[in-house]
Amino acid sequence: MASIDSASIGDLWDRVFGTQPAPDDWLVVVTAVVALAAVVPRPLWRLSRNAITIAHEGGHGLIALVTGRRLDGIRLHSDTSGLTVSRGRPTGPGMILTAAAGYTAPPLLGLGGAWLLSAHHITLLLWLTTALLLAMLVMIRNAYGALTVIVTGAAFLLISWLTGPDVQSAFAYTAVWFLLLGGVRPAFELQSKRRYGGAGDSDADQLGRLTHAPPAMWLFLFHAVSLSSLVGGGRWLLGL
pLDDT of residue 240: 84
Mean pLDDT over each residue of the chain, to the nearest integer? 92
Average pLDDT over residues 51-61: 97
Query: What pLDDT, in 10s, does the model give residues 159-192?
Result: 998 988 899 999 999 999 999 999 999 999 999 9
| 43 pLDDT more than 70 | yes
Q: Please enumerate, as own/partner, the contacts of 115-121 that have beta carbons within 8 Å and a separation of 24 or more.
A: 115/233, 115/236, 117/172, 117/173, 117/176, 117/236, 117/237, 118/236, 118/237, 118/239, 119/19, 120/19, 120/20, 120/21, 120/22, 121/17, 121/19, 121/20
In which band, very low, low, confident or very high, does the pLDDT at 22 lie, cut at 50, 70 and 90?
Answer: confident
C-alpha dihedral, 142 to 72 to 99 to 180, nearest 10°: -50
DSSP-derived 3-state class of residue 74: strand
Statement: residue 1 has pLDDT above 50: no
Name which of 199, 73, 201 is nearest 145 in CA terms. Answer: 73
Residue 38: per-residue pLDDT:
97
Q: Mind listing the pLDDT tens digit for each residue in 106-128? A: 999 999 999 999 999 999 999 99
182-233 residue pLDDT tens: 999 999 999 998 888 777 789 999 999 999 999 999 999 999 999 999 999 9
Q: Is the pLDDT reported for residue 2 higher than 70?
A: no
Note the pLDDT tens digit of each residue in 133-145: 999 999 999 999 9
State residue 196's pLDDT score. 80
Share of the chain above pLDDT 70, in %: 92
Mean pLDDT calculated for residue range 29-40 = 97
Task: List, as one string, the DSSP characters of 77-108.
Answer: -TTS-EEEEEES-SSSHHHHHHHHHHHHHHHH
